[in-house]
Every structure is written in structure tokens, then in C-alpha cells.
């Protein structure tokens, strides 16, 4: 540890004062200096970002050239309280203390006593709102800090405070009102919010039927595979995801989409052959938001590294974009770091409605699958591989109804049967293998009954 206090050597020339200097050095050497050379701190924002003119910021830190109004870029600033052990703000009562919530005038006065932190950039406007955790820098002179002004370094976590009385920082809501998130400045000027420009269902060209997939030496049953395009998303959330990707790229993040929407049979394939398809945590058919177009799997890369929670990229780079634009999406965690899904209540209600329709179809009404396994879990892996891939139950009618749609024929070795039932089975219209349970059931009913033709 070092004592940064400067002493004039001429005052320590006689033998007595020399001993005093030695004693002073010894005391500093063994003392618990609270901050040593620390200049970086964690803080909690007490206000939303507010704008300072170029002239104002020039007077504070000389960080701009100043000039006439409109002639130079403004910068953003906010009030914040440094937290943690030995905080330089520890001598000021905490405005977030719930015991002060009823005295808003006192809370406001306490906030004004805290440090104003300035964003050093005039082009990169990172949105900071009340309650957010931030990294800040203080200027230091010897053992003293400048507690009037400091520098904002980065946004660490989005922590919107609650307005419920008695909760931490509830006074910040009562004092300033509900938090309103604003977009990044200068990053993107396109459409925002819900996808008002999109109508109708998933486009017919949003995918096609799989061909000759294999897992080792095993032939994977045919399924409808949506393209890795945001066009395959449900129209309600498509615009928000598109805006998210555009803003992420504007912030220097690269994105590689690995999966968007999935048909029920595609989800079953991932469940049955997870290692062959690189599925991290595959859900059972009907139980994934991917089924209904409310989720995207994407690998984000920033400065050469994958974006994860553990390395701070999700919280510091991507979530501020979500927050600033009210995109209502989230990443579910590093256990499945590629997965982003909608959190919009309306989307959730639609998802739950479609999910129930899918569950009813595959786990209850369809005896071809339900007779094998009627509950989610590993048991669905035993479903017969030639069960029909029904896109209507996931709200994607129009993308492709049956395997015979493209050219009116079934793949080699399969036949097309109209929907029907026998004494033991019920089946949907679609293509089935010659040795499938459906083919046997049709034959039991009488040669050719229910059979449209072969290909």
C-alpha cells in the first residue's frame, strides 16, 4: 500500500523529524487503506439518463469542443450511488432505503448529493434507467476522490425497481414515475414494436420437406423443415426479432441463426436423435415455443467470443438493446445459450392456445401416437416414425399441409392414404411406408380401401 500524500523533503532533515517520517511510513504500511489505488466501482443508478449540452460537458471534463447550440453533439449523464464495501458514498444516506419512501422531498435531496456520471461517448448512447447496476470511474487525487463528477463505463445489469411500497428503490418510481425505455440513439431508425407490417400466416416458401437425413446408419423419418429465416416466425413477434438482430449488428455483434420454427415431427426428431442434430435441451413435441414461431436459436459473437451470461456479453451488450426497445424477448440461460424466446403476454396466450391444440392432437386424439406414449418425456421417442407431420396444429397452415403437396406423389416406398380408421387404429391423411401400421390397418379393412394411390 502506498501513501500518495506528497511531503517536502526539506522538512525531514534533522534526526528527530527523520524518525517521525519513518513512523509515518510504518503506520501507512500496516494500515488498512480503504481504497488503495481503486478508481473503478459498481454503482446503482438513481436517475434515468439525462442530456447535457456540449458546452455543459466541456465545462465539466473538457470531453467535447463545445460551440453554439446544435453545433456539437450532446452527451448523457445520470446520478448514481456507489455500492459495496467502503463505498465513497457511504456517508450519504441511501435514497433507496424503504424507510425514506414516504418523504420524497428528502429522497430527492439525497439524490442530488450523489455523483453525476457522464457517458464519455457522443455517439454511443447506452440506455441507463433507475435501478440499473453500472460500472463507473472516479477521478482520484492522493487519498481524495472527486465525488461531484465521474465517468460511466458500462451497463452491468438491468434492474428495474418495483413501485411496491416497502421494496428497495420503490421511492425512485414514486418520485419520477414509471420507467420508460427509449431506443439507442443513432443505431437504427426503422420500424419498432410489434410487427404491424406483417399479416397472415407463415409464407408457403418458409421451408420444405427433409430429404435423406441420417443419424449414423439410421434413416431419419421425413419431416417438414422450416428455413432458418425470421420469415418463419409467428407474425406477432417477427418484427421485434428483426429489430433485435438489426440493432445487435449495429452494435458490433454477429449473429448465426441455427433454428427458428419447428414442425411437431421436427421437434420429435430432435428428441429422438439429439446428438446427431446438436440439440442441447430438446423438448418433447408440442412443448417448445419453437413449434409456434415464438423462439429463435442463434449464436451471437462479440469481439471474437460467444455471447454468454457468464462472460457478461448477454447482460452488457444484448439485454440493453432488448430493454431500450421494449422488445419483450429473453435468453433462457447458458444451459441453452442459443435460445431466445418471446415474453410478450399476448404471444404467450397464443402459444398456450396452440400448444393445447397440438397436445390434444398428438397425445390424446391421435391413437397412432397416443397409444404408444400419451405424455411428454422420453417415451415419445417410441412414436412410430411414419406419423403425419401436422402443421395446422401449430398455426402454420399454408407452409405445407402434407408430404404429398409438392408434386402429388409420395416418396419411394410410401403410399398416400386418406384419413380413416380401423378397429384398432385412426390415422391422418398423408404418406405412409408400405409396412407401416396404417398400411396394415388399411389392408385389414379391404384391399385399396382408403388408398388414394401410390407413387
Q: Do residues 118 and 246 both lie within one domain?
A: no
Residue 419 included in any domain:
yes
8 Å CB contact between 299 and 255? yes
Note whether residue 19 is domain-resident: no
- Ranking 192-196, 376-380, 426-430 by mean pLDDT, the lowest is 192-196
Please tell me the pTM assigned to this model: 0.53
Pairing of strands 115-119, 144-157: parallel
Position 356 pLDDT exceeds 90: yes
| pLDDT at site 403 | 41
C-alpha 38/C-alpha 60 separation (Å) is 22
| Cα dihedral 42, 343, 182, 230 in deg (nearest 10) | 120
Higher pLDDT, 444 or 285: 285
**278 near 261, Cβ under 8 Å?**
no
- C-alpha count within 13 angstroms, C-beta hemisphere, residue 312: 9
Q: Based on the domain organization, do 317 and 222 belong to the same domain?
A: yes
Same domain? 215 vs 334: yes
* In a shared domain, residues 211 and 341: yes
- Write down which residue in 161, 176, 191 finishes a domain: 176
Considering the domain boundaries, does residue 356 fall inside one? Answer: no
Residues 346 and 410 both lie in one domain: no
Q: Is residue 408 part of a domain?
A: yes
DSSP-derived secondary structure letter, 15: H
| Residue 6 predicted with pLDDT over 80 | no
The answer on 313 and 231 residing in a single domain is yes
**pLDDT value at residue 424:** 67
Residue 206 pLDDT > 90, yes or no?
A: no
The phi, psi pair for 200, rounded to 5°, reads: 80, -165
- Determine the pLDDT at residue 24: 54
Query: What is the structure's pLDDT at 262?
Result: 92
> Do 327 and 441 fall into the same domain?
no
How far apart CA 281 and CA 264 sit, in angstroms, is 16
CATH code, domain with 223 = 3.30.1380.10
Is the distance from CB of 286 to CB of 363 less than 8 angstroms?
A: yes
The pLDDT value recorded for residue 21 is: 57
* Amino acid 247: pLDDT: 87
Examine the domain organization and report whether 167 and 213 are in the same domain: no
Residue 393 three-state SS: helix
Residues of the domain holding 247: 207-350
Same domain, 342 and 214: yes
The answer to whether residue 78 sits within a structural domain is yes
Domain's final residue, options 176, 193, 228:
176
pLDDT for res 15: 56
Selected residue with higher pLDDT from 156 and 384: 384
Would residue 241 count as lying in a domain? Answer: yes
| Whether 163 and 236 share a structural domain | no
345 shares a domain with 401? no
Confidence of residue 348 (pLDDT cuts 50, 70, 90): very high
In 3D space, the residue among 256, 263, 253, 264 whose CA is nearest the CA of residue 232 turns out to be 263
H or E, element range at 24: helix 15-30
Task: Please name which of 130, 135, 158 lies closest in space to residue 45, comparing C-alpha atoms.
Answer: 130
The confidence score (pLDDT) of residue 448 equals: 38
Q: State pLDDT tens for residues 97-150.
A: 888 888 888 889 899 999 999 887 665 667 788 888 889 999 887 778 889 999
| CA distance linking residue 130 with residue 81, whole number of Å | 11
Is 137 domain-assigned? Answer: yes
Does the residue 193 lie in any domain? no
**For the ranges 112-126, 156-170, 292-306, the one whose mean pLDDT is highest:** 292-306
**pLDDT tens for each residue of 68-106:** 454 456 788 899 999 988 899 988 999 998 888 888 888
pLDDT score recorded for residue 180? 66
> What mean pLDDT is reported for the chain?
76
Residue 453's pLDDT is what? 30
- Give pLDDT tens digits for 216-249: 888 998 888 888 888 888 888 988 999 899 888 8
CA distance 184 to 320: 9
Distance CA 240, CA 294 (A): 11
Total domain count for the chain? 3
Amino acid at each position: 500500500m502506498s501513501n500518495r500524500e506528497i511531503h517536502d523533503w526539506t522538512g525531514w532533515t534533522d534526526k528527530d523529524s527523520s524518525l517521525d517520517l519513518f513512523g509515518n511510513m510504518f503506520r501507512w504500511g500496516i494500515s488498512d487503506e480503504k481504497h488503495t489505488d481503486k478508481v473503478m466501482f459498481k454503482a446503482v443508478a438513481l436517475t434515468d439518463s439525462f442530456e447535457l449540452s456540449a458546452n455543459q460537458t466541456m465545462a465539466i471534463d473538457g470531453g467535447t469542443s463545445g460551440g453554439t447550440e446544435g453545433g456539437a453533439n450532446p452527451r448523457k449523464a445520470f446520478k448514481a450511488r456507489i455500492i459495496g464495501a467502503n463505498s465513497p458514498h457511504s456517508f450519504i444516506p441511501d435514497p433507496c432505503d424503504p424507510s425514506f419512501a414516504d418523504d420524497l422531498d428528502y429522497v430527492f435531496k439525497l439524490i442530488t448529493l450523489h455523483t453525476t456520471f457522464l457517458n464519455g461517448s457522443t455517439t454511443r448512447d447506452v440506455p441507463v434507467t433507475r435501478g440499473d447496476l453500472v460500472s463507473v470511474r472516479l477521478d482520484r487525487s492522493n487519498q481524495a476522490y472527486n465525488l461531484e463528477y465521474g465517468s460511466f463505463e458500462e451497463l452491468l445489469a438491468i434492474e428495474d425497481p418495483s413501485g411496491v411500497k416497502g421494496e428497495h428503490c420503490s421511492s425512485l418510481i414514486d418520485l419520477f414515475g414509471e420507467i420508460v425505455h427509449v431506443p439507442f440513439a443513432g443505431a437504427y431508425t426503422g420500424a419498432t414494436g410489434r410487427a404491424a407490417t406483417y399479416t397472415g400466416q407463415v409464407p408457403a416458401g418458409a421451408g420444405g420437406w427433409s430429404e435423406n437425413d441420417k443419424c449414423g446408419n439410421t434413416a431419419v423419418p421425413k419431416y417438414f423443415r422450416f428455413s432458418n429465416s425470421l420469415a418463419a416466425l409467428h407474425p406477432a413477434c417477427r418484427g421485434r426479432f428483426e429489430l433485435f438482430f438489426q440493432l445487435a449488428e449495429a452494435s458490433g455483434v454477429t449473429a448465426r441463426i441455427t433454428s427458428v420454427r419447428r414442425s411437431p415431427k421436427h421437434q420429435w426428431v430432435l428428441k429422438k436423435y439429439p446428438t446427431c442434430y446438436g440439440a442441447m435441451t430438446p423438448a418433447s413435441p408440442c412443448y417448445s415455443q419453437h413449434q409456434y414461431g415464438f423462439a429463435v436459436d442463434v449464436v451471437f459473437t462479440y469481439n471474437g467470443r460467444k455471447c454468454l451470461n457468464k462472460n457478461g456479453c448477454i447482460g452488457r451488450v444484448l439485454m440493453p438493446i432488448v430493454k431500450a426497445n421494449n422488445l419483450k424477448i429473453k435468453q433462457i440461460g447458458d444451459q441453452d445459450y442459443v435460445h431466445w424466446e418471446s415474453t410478450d403476454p399476448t404471444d404467450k396466450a397464443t402459444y398456450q392456445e396452440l400448444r393445447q391444440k397440438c397436445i390434444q392432437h398428438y397425445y390424446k386424439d391421435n391413437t397412432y401416437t397416443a397409444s404408444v406414449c400419451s405424455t411428454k418425456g422420453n417415451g415419445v421417442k417410441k412414436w412410430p416414425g411414419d406419423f403425419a407431420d401436422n402443421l395446422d396444429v401449430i398455426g402454420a397452415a399454408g407452409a405445407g399441409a402434407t408430404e404429398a403437396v409438392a408434386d402429388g406423389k409420395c416418396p419411394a416406398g410410401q403410399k398416400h392414404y386418406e384419413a380413416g380408421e380401423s378397429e384398432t387404429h385412426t390415422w391422418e391423411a398423408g404418406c405412409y411406408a408400405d409396412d407401416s401400421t396404417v398400411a396394415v390397418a388399411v389392408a385389414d379393412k379391404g384391399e385399396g380401401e382408403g388408398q388414394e394411390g401410390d407413387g
